[in-house]
Structure 1
Amino acid sequence: MSLKSLDPRVNRLNLPDGEVPAMEPKQELDQFETYEAFHQKKDGAAFTYVGPVHAPNEDVAFLFAKEQYSRRFACVGLWVIRTEHIQVTPYGNDGENIYDTLRAAQPTEQSEQPEPYEIFHLKKRGKAHTHAGRVMATSYLEALQEAKSAFGEKGPVVNIWVVKSKDVLQSAEEDKDMWTTIPEKKYREAIAYKVMDKITKYKEENKTTAQ
């Protein structure tokens, strides 16, 4: 058979007819793992999702997340979670509450010990997931049920992320000084560097010299 595609970029390759060659299996560490980063703007505020990073391990992911997502905006705390550790519910429509669609968790054996889970809510499509709180449970499904009891009445929730607390790499209280800036500079906003003032001054000086 010949390879057909709805993507014109593929068709422009003019690939020959015949069997599509089998893909070779990926080698180990062919690419970095994906991690999701959450930051806290100020003490007491909820952690909010800011984006992904690719890294070989958690420590490097934390460093990449700090450099990428906390340099230009106020930040006092950072969480990093390996993507594969996050369980995601189906998406609902804006104005709906996904908690209403959850099926009841099956009873667990008494030998299983509850552990903490972190719950993140998406209130509206196009916005960011925000930390809603922590629940104790013996499984992801049970964690969702506990979250429904604890947070399900707080308005529409179109999607939920659930992750075991032990899988969250958190910045420590004593690490807050790594975001400290000098008093006379407005946090990390580009305007604080007054680049345009320097450029204007440079142009004026060179204009005078040329004349």
Structure 2
Amino acid sequence: MLKSLDPRVMRLNLPEGEVPAMEPKPELDQFETYEAFHQKKEGTAYTYVGPVHAPNEDVAFLFAKEQYSRRFACTGLWIARTENIQVTPYGNDGENVYDTIQFDEPTQRSEQPEAYEIFHLKKRGKAHTYAGRVMAKSYPEALAEAKKAFGDKGPIVNVWVVKSKDVLQSAEEDKDMWTTIPEKKYREAIAYKVMDKITKYKEENKPTTAQ
């Protein structure tokens, strides 16, 4: 029902159920893959923007900031290691993938519930968008809880599930790192004033009427 977003995990042919953490790779072998989500403005949902490769989540956060928030509005950033994100099969556009999944009855466990973040894909070719948080004792149980809480907000063609503790989230005090300083106005599209320059050029080069 759920599988890791990281294809390296899937190539291990692990048995069904909880996917254990991958064995640490040799030092300097290769960077880990992280997924980045950003918030365009305060109060809006976080949306998936793409992956980055980095040696740890702090550097991944920095790389994601430079890659995905340097030239457009951004007020918040979330980072999650790819292997920690569990995904459902894909449905067809217009369908609700929650309706195609067989949910098992949760087994009695001694563990305490923990928080999971849920992301929905509304249409193929679009980006996953944050739907909300649920409390559960496992990934499958989190998916079942997500159906109860958000499953009526279809169509939903794919769902991503990740533990909240595995998401590095920008804090309130981090918001000033997106502020453009006066010397760097070239980063702001409005500073280009392209249309003003085009209008001025047209006025200066307007053909004269023959006498």
TM-score tier after normalising by the smaller chain length: 0.7 to 0.9
Deviation at 1:133, TM superposition (A): 0.2
Secondary structure of the residue aligned to 1:134 is strand
Unpaired runs of at least 5, structure 2? 1-24, 202-211
Equivalent in the alignment of 1:64: 63
* Structure 2 counterparts to residues 5-84 of structure 1, below 5 A: 28-84=27-83
Supply the distance in 2 between the matched residues of 1:36 and 1:106 (Cα, whole angstroms): 31
Supply the distance in 2 between the matched residues of 1:119 and 1:137 (Cα, whole angstroms): 12
RMSD: 2.6
Supply the distance in 1 between the matched residues of 2:178 and 2:113 (Cα, whole angstroms): 35
* Structure 2 counterparts to residues 37-186 of structure 1, below 5 A: 37-182=36-181
The share of aligned pairs that are identical, in percent, is 84
Per the normalisation by structure 2, the TM-score is 0.75
Larger Rg: 1
**More deviation, 92-101/108-117:** 108-117
Supply the distance in 1 between the matched residues of 2:153 and 2:100 (Cα, whole angstroms): 16
Secondary structure of the residue aligned to 2:115 is strand
| Alpha carbons of structure 1 residues 193 and 95: separation in structure 2 relative to 1, 3 Å | same
Supply the distance in 1 between the matched residues of 2:186 and 2:44 (Cα, whole angstroms): 18
Supply the distance in 2 between the matched residues of 1:154 and 1:184 (Cα, whole angstroms): 45
Per the normalisation by structure 1, the TM-score is 0.75
* Residues 186, 192 of structure 2: 8 Å contact kept: no
Equivalenced residue count is: 174
> Aligned letter for 1:63?
L
Secondary structure of the residue aligned to 1:126 is coil
1:89-112 per-residue CA deviation (whole Å, 9 max, x = no partner) reads: 100110010000122233232412
